Chain A
């Protein structure tokens, strides 16, 4: 099977993923009743992912091979997102899409809002017939990932980091090690626990030890990160020297 690099990495992400809460589910309109395929769509603010699941003996086309119309995934005019790169998908090496296929389209936010509107055009065939070409509407709100930045103190360094996350498309709240609490942390998608270097980080280890045991994943930075991971009972800090 031919795989593009991008689809391979998408597969890697899926293999390690826990709950993919951070990916917004989208609605798909226009699939005929009884169609020999199903479509699911999710997105982050950086990627639109469409899963096409074809019944046995049915296929679609990744490119023009003289059969049906190849699939095309495009952002609609008026969408708050635009394509940021080429569509990545996997086919059978012969230009056909069979079984479960992942289509990944890099996207970039360009509007003021977070409404995503896209169109999936495709035609499905079996050995003897092709259904009429169809267009499916994909819609939904794609909110930015919510990051809670935990810092020693809300100073210029913290503001630089917050601005960096904002520039990268994250919705970022800032709190400090002394005030962070579980409820606040767990309404975010990721907690980033900042640290300056050893002996300059300005946070007491007793404070780090009380860091909430979140359900939200944590990116633990630098020296405080080693202490935080140790406080949370992770083996990967057992080799600290």
Chain B
């Protein structure tokens, strides 16, 4: 990432108070690596041009790797704030200013001699804003999100990179979950369409990988039911099954609830699923990166 930024969340406090920050910008033409993608700062995609601003007076003396949020890599983390993107050749969605819980990521290596005037004002605002975040909670990182599987296809489309499809995908997905997978762009596209909504990870053991961090498994139970694991309607369907008079249905529902409801908020037994849901329905979120759990929304005050 270089010294520039774009897609600034100018209505956020870090650009408004106490310093009202004004950046001079210059238009740049959308690049190939921007085209066809969305990101937290460009939820509807980028227009034909975009506005670049300088945070540092010139390119840094050296290079910095890029933090990316490819089309919502971890935007399901409650309270996560993506506030500016860095100018990166990788892809739309490079983080340069972001907050998660009590941590703020300032992607520009700070040296006062290098900061532009508006960047100095922004940095002061950031420090003052963060002073109000003591006690802010977030979710712990457990595993990559399912979007990391989609990225193999995106990288091929962007640059022709095939190794993700032909090699990394195989290491990232359990063998039984990729039976019949054809290691081509078309094969991956087909696999994603059929399975991405049903993958999960983060349970240790078979989901652990020394090389890849974590591996993914397709939930055959959720897939057979047609219940994508991150959807509220699916949770409600499992709760309904868990209360069924039919023993097999009841067992399946409870099995899925045990798989996806964070043990920290799950009941000791799923004997009264409706009561549990009445208590928790307004306080839970599903987060891939926290381990594919329905868990308590950390942005809410603890009960």
Contacts and interface: CB of A to CB of B under 8 A. Distances in A.
Interface of A: 5-6, 9-10, 12-13, 16-23, 44, 46-47, 106, 145, 147, 157, 160-161, 163-165, 168, 170, 189-190, 192, 194-201, 214-223, 225-226, 228-230, 232-241
Contacts of A201: 109
Given A170-B127, A217-B131, A238-B73, A229 B105 contact: yes
A18 B132 CA distance: 6
A220 B106 contact: yes
Interface of B: 11-13, 16-18, 20, 60-70, 73-74, 77, 79-81, 90, 93, 95, 98, 100-113, 120, 124, 126-136, 138-141, 144-145, 148, 287, 289-290
Interface centre among B65, B124, B132 (most CB of A within 10 A): B132
Nearest to A198: B64
Interface centre among A192, A214, A230, A236 (most CB of B within 10 A): A236
Interface of B, secondary structure class, is: loop
B109 A196 contact: yes
Contact of B60 (A189, A194, A197): A197
A239 B111 CA distance: 25
27 contacts: A16-B79, A17-B133, A47-B17, A145-B127, A160-B111, A160-B113, A170-B127, A189-B131, A195-B109, A198-B65, A200-B62, A219-B106, A219-B127, A222-B108, A223-B64, A225-B106, A226-B65, A229-B105, A233-B141, A234-B101, A234-B103, A235-B139, A236-B80, A236-B105, A237-B67, A238-B144, A241-B68
Given A235-B289, A235-B290, A16 B13 contact: yes
Contact of A220 (B16, B103, B111, B144): B103
Given A170-B127, A222-B106, A23 B65 contact: no
A236 B106 contact: no
Contacts of A241: 65-66, 68, 90
A6 to B, nearest CB: 7
B127 A147 contact: yes
Interface centre among A192, A233, A239 (most CB of B within 10 A): A239
Contact of A217 (B13, B16, B77, B104): B104
A241 B79 CA distance: 23
A198 B62 CA distance: 7
Contacts of B101: 234
Leading 5 A-B pairs by shortest Cβ distance? A22-B131, A222-B109, A235-B289, A197-B62, A9-B16
B80 A9 contact: no
A19 B134 contact: yes
A190 B129 CA distance: 10
A236 B95 contact: yes
A18 B103 contact: no
A47 B112 CA distance: 24
Contact of B100 (A165, A189, A236): A236
